[in-house]
Structure 1
Amino acid sequence: MVGTASFVQNLGNSVKKVSDSKSSSWWYNHHMRAASRAIFQRIPLVDLVLEVRDARIPMSSEYGQLRYFPSSSRNIIILNKMDLADRSKTKEWMAYFKERNYIPYAINSHNKDSIKEFLNFLQARVRDIRRSTHSSDTRTTTVMLVGIPNVGKSAFANSLHQIGRISAAEKGKLKHSTVSPQPGETKNITSLKIASHPNIYILDTPGVLPPKILDAELSAKLALTGAVDDILIDQSELAQYFLSILNLSDEYKNWAKFSTMDDDGAATSVGGSSGGSELHKKENQIVNDHTQDIVVQAVRRALFDEISAFKGNMVDEKDMVQLIEAQFTTVLRKAFNVTSNPCGDATGMVAAKLINLYRTGRLGHYTLDSLPRSHM
């Protein structure tokens, strides 16, 4: 699921241009270079490496430096943000990695039960390693988290730390890693205790991207999922790329219950006298807050109706561009209640709201990477 070619190329080329720019203060800056060296030096010294990937892009979010180290039973691939990905596709990717002798594990770092289950799994792996190497029961085990920016390493480390301390009944002020929706916030390697008996410490490391990205499709996926700082990317390109993915998927069909289609199959206008505006006026709802359920429903309804009523060919590039133009400049403005304002950026506002809803799972669950053809 990669979207329409023109939107992939537009967004991908924008990201590539940033990565090629030597004047960029964010892309592979001195923090990333220093972190990359430090991680490379420490990987051989730790007991386990947890490579955290984004479950929406299981292959595209690979941490390239691990290619320099042989795959072994001491490397575990963590597919984080499983709650945002297509569940059936995540199972397929898990099977794919297992067939290639990797140890995969899918998690939601914000779900306590998911973290508890993984912590039990990790402790069992540590015990197995100790038995196989005849290590002392009192020896401390060190686990390193690695990954590209914004795959959720710090949130994962903090959750493990919190659940681990509660399970071990340890008291005291909680040390934690910095968590931010913006990629690249972690600057240093942080050590957190996550288990006792045996003692296990986890090293949270900064996210590192390769110095350059040559593939436009890969660049587009990294940008859409938030691995690249949004300030570097045209948000309208990001939103249009997402719409090209949504339009080619079946996700919108789940929103049929929100439809305002009449008996003849014609879509009524969201935001009109009988559409979204009535919903927006409900008590205690904030019209301009796109995270309100009533607004999210209006967006789903608008997209469902527009796609369902579309008579063109989705596979045809020109037809897809025509549909996205209508969705982006007319339908979504009404659904989000964004009015044209000479002093404001209506297009940017619509794009930012749409991307936020996608990234928080309010507009469906998408796995952007397809399995290699040889596996399908």
Structure 2
Amino acid sequence: MIPLSSEFKLLKKHSTSTRRIIVLNKTDLASPSQVKQWMDYFEGQDDIAFRVNSHNRDNIKEFLTFLQARVRELINTGYSRHTTTLMLVGIPNVGKSALANSLHLIGRINAAEKGRLKHAAVTPQPGETKNISSFKIASHPNIYVLDTPGILPPNIPDAELCCKLALTGAIQDCLDGEVELAQYFLAILTTSDEFKKWAKLGGIEKDMLVVTATDDELDLEKTQKMKHRVTDHTQDFIVNNVRKTLYHCISSFSGNLDEENSLLHLIEVEYANLAEAFHLSSEAVDDLPMVASKLLNLYRTGRLGHYSVDSVPSKHW
């Protein structure tokens, strides 16, 4: 979660706080305590904010009820008549299309007149939305939401900001480099407390990573399926091995993580051990890109813990 790094500052200059709602999407991937800190922060800034998980139906119902209440307030004060249009605006890949789909689906379920069900394309890659699309999300009063393409400033001069945007999928990995990006994530994980949750996972299950291709009882198809299973990094036992590997690397490290050289050394150790945890071939010329790709995928799907990459400004506390 990157509430500040993902903010489009030009938009903030052109919208009043009473008609602008900050949506903290993908909160299921962030620490609940950190989400609360961010909600408190925005409240302290006199901003209207709402935490959202676009894949949680109850949460979407709650958000839609909140939006309807805000629209009724606007109608009562003369800002809106009959139909209100909301625009989803933000950087690429923050879940605008998924949110539009969910609001439209929930609104359609509760509507007296169903109308045609629409669906915006959703992919893990940034830049999928190319056009502005309208979705009806409520009646009495009528409310429409506009799904829009992601927007970014013309240039991003800050290297750390670029890493944060790439890490969360707002810009393509190739613009920052997958290996460097995975190293950046490992630095975040290593200096957090998330890895401590994996202390009780036990030892590495190396025996589950063995495939006997010469076993006469296995035909070729079964052997291929087994090979696919042990190289599919999304399998639970591989994910657990990755967690165990990271826990053992970090907890057994005796260096000072406040020193950059020590942190970089630990990250190198983690990379070397992760290649085995992901069951990459020992004959591979360069494991780093493959380790990086698999590691980033597990992070982005919430399999390696919950993080808020942005820190709440200290002056708030």
Pair 1:101-2:46 in alignment: yes
- Alpha-carbon distance in structure 2 between the residues aligned to 1:153 and 1:169: 26
Deviation of the 1:70 alpha carbon: 4.1
Partner residue, 1:185: 128
- How does 1:1-376 map onto structure 2 within 5 Å? 56-133=1-78, 136=81, 139-260=82-203, 275-280=204-209, 286-328=229-271, 330-342=272-284, 345-376=286-317
Unaligned residue ranges in structure 1 (runs of 5+): 1-55, 261-274
Of 202-211 and 62-71, deviating more is 62-71
Alpha carbons of structure 1 residues 212 and 334: separation in structure 2 relative to 1, 3 Å:
same
CA shift digits 1:84-131 (9 cap, x unpaired) = 112111111111111111100000011111111100111111111111
**Aligned partner of residue 133 in structure 1, secondary structure:** coil
CA shift digits 1:253-299 (9 cap, x unpaired) = 00011133xxxxxxxxxxxxxx3222346999710111111111010
**Aligned partner of residue 287 in structure 1, secondary structure:** helix
- Alpha-carbon distance in structure 1 between the residues aligned to 2:294 and 2:80: 52
Poorly superposed stretches of 4+, deviation over 3 Å: 169-173, 279-285
CA shift digits 1:223-251 (9 cap, x unpaired) = 11111112333111111111011110010
TM-score by length of 2: 0.91
The alignment yields a C-alpha RMSD, in angstroms, of 1.8
Partner residue, 1:45: none
2:173, 2:181 within 8 Å by CA — same for their partners in 1? Answer: no
Unaligned residue ranges in structure 2 (runs of 5+): 212-221
1:72, 1:102 within 8 Å by CA — same for their partners in 2? Answer: yes
Partner residue, 1:53: none
Q: Which has the higher contact order (CA 8 A, sep 6+)?
A: 1
1:259, 1:305 within 8 Å by CA — same for their partners in 2? Answer: no
- Alpha-carbon distance in structure 2 between the residues aligned to 1:231 and 1:179: 20
- Alpha-carbon distance in structure 2 between the residues aligned to 1:309 and 1:120: 49
Number of corresponding residues: 303
CA shift digits 1:126-153 (9 cap, x unpaired) = 11111111755xx111110000011110
Deviation of the 1:71 alpha carbon: 2.6
Q: Which amino acid aligns with 1:222?
A: L
- Alpha-carbon distance in structure 1 between the residues aligned to 2:279 and 2:79: 65
TM-score by length of 1: 0.77
2:163, 2:176 within 8 Å by CA — same for their partners in 1? Answer: no
